[in-house]
Structure 1
């Protein structure tokens, strides 16, 4: 009997060691070692997308936090877009090469935070990265949904 996970959570930080652990867990998910996008028999789960949730912050982006990688369906994106329209989250969208667009999106958040343009709530933030092979424009997209006060 095949099984699949709905989410995987680790406690980490933005340190060099923390980013290494994040990279390792993503490798395990993408390879199917952790059955989030694939079931335990390595069958791809149609209709699910991986989304990162950042929560349980010890302080701000410089401290420890929980990283939960979730397998979500389209209704997740409908709900988070509703939260954006209500002013609970600010959405960031960057595109280009996958690693670069993710870095650019987070740098934009941190710049706006430092300048006082946004006041982060540090409750639950979300990240969805779409590889270029799945987009109409052929560019990777990184979407951040940052909880604001």
Structure 2
């Protein structure tokens, strides 16, 4: 019998060891070891996108938090865009011309932290979401990072 997970959660942080844990969990998801994108028979789940949820912050981006990798469908993004329109979230969309996910992800988070530092946004540190899309899956051939940051 094949099964799949809807989500998996780890407690981590943005320090070297925490970043290592994040890399390991993503490696297990992409390889199918954790059946979120694939079921246990290694069949790819059509219509599923992986999304990172950052929640249960002990303080802010400098403390521990829960990282949950969710298996979502397109309606998740429609719901999040509705939350942006209501003013509960701010959406960031960064891309990298060379197709490197790490570059566009870093650019997106640096923009968040810069706006936070300048007072342009006030984060709630309740639940933030990140979706990265490799260049081979985009129409423009660029890597994309979409962040939904909870704001006051």
TM-score for the superposition, normalised by structure 2: 0.97
User: How far apart, CA to CA, are the structure 2 residues paired with 1:108 and 1:16?
Assistant: 21
Per-residue Cα deviation, 1:29-84 (whole angstroms, up to 9, x for no partner): 00000000000110000000000000000000000000000000011011000000
Match of 2:92 in 1: 92
Instruction: Work out whether 1:138 is the aligned partner of 2:115.
Output: no
Moved over 6 A (4+): none
Structure 2: where are the runs of 5+ without partners?
none
Instruction: Give the paired residue count.
Output: 149
Structure 1: where are the runs of 5+ without partners?
none
Instruction: Work out whether 1:51 is the aligned partner of 2:51.
Output: yes
Match of 2:70 in 1: 70
User: How far apart, CA to CA, are the structure 2 residues paired with 1:8 and 1:109?
Assistant: 25
Match of 1:122 in 2: 125
Deviation of residue 111 (structure 1)?
A: 0.5
TM-score for the superposition, normalised by structure 1: 0.99
Deviation of residue 109 (structure 1)?
A: 0.2
